[in-house]
Amino acid sequence: TIEIKGINGAIEARPTTGSKVRVTAVKHARWGADLDDVRIDVSENRDGVRVCVLYPDMQDCDDHHHGHNRKDDVTVDFEVEVPAGVRFVGQTVNGEITADRLDGDAEATTVNGSIRVTASGFVQATTVNGSIHAAMGTRDWRHDAEFTTVNGSITLELDGSPNAEVHASTVNGSISTDFPLTVRGKFIGRSISGTLGNGGPELKMTTVNGSIKLRSST
């Protein structure tokens, strides 16, 4: 796993034909801020490597929960080259996340920003203010998959004939699907639950202000 944890700034991941992960962090300063006040920390764990942005009052990556409301004058944008088979995890607070055509699993989380993530393996994405466009290449996955936002639409593309238990809901928007969906019970407002194929792990898609589209990529 290569995990990127930022606070202010965008994250872009793309595939590479090599066997090495390459991470480039670019700092941007405003209002005469000191770039050296913000550090880039790299640490190893049992799953792989974690790269974190650390502001002056942060000791380590575990302090990231203190940074959600930061308005610092230094932002850090990441570019990540991801080899085949390496799991990508991207997390920021103020910034969009883009991860296109990755050959493996991918997860993306932000608060203020849109997400675009497409991968051959398991995918999930969460934001608050922004839309989500995701594509999952695997037909069968073992874990529950979640795609959630508050202000934005959700478009999810699935390959082949997936097997899952679908739960989708929106308040201000519509829900549409390219797949035959076996529905049980009643429709309640703009909420739907049903079975794709033979059923399986839960596939959850929720928003408040936006539409939900479940599309076939084949």
Query: Which class for 30: exposed (0-12), middle (13-18), buried (19 or more C-beta within 10 A)?
Result: exposed
- The predicted-structure confidence for 55-106, as pLDDT tens digits, reads as follows 888 888 877 655 544 556 889 999 999 999 999 999 999 999 999 999 999 9
Answer yes or no: is pLDDT of 183 > 60.
Answer: yes
Give the gyration radius of the chain's Cα atoms: 18
pTM: predicted TM-score of the whole model, two decimal places? 0.92
* Half-sphere exposure for 208 (CA within 13 Å, toward CB): 7
Q: Binning pLDDT at 50, 70 and 90, where does residue 186 land? A: low
Nearest by Cα to 161 from 200, 106, 108 = 200
Cα separation, 210 vs 218, whole angstroms: 25
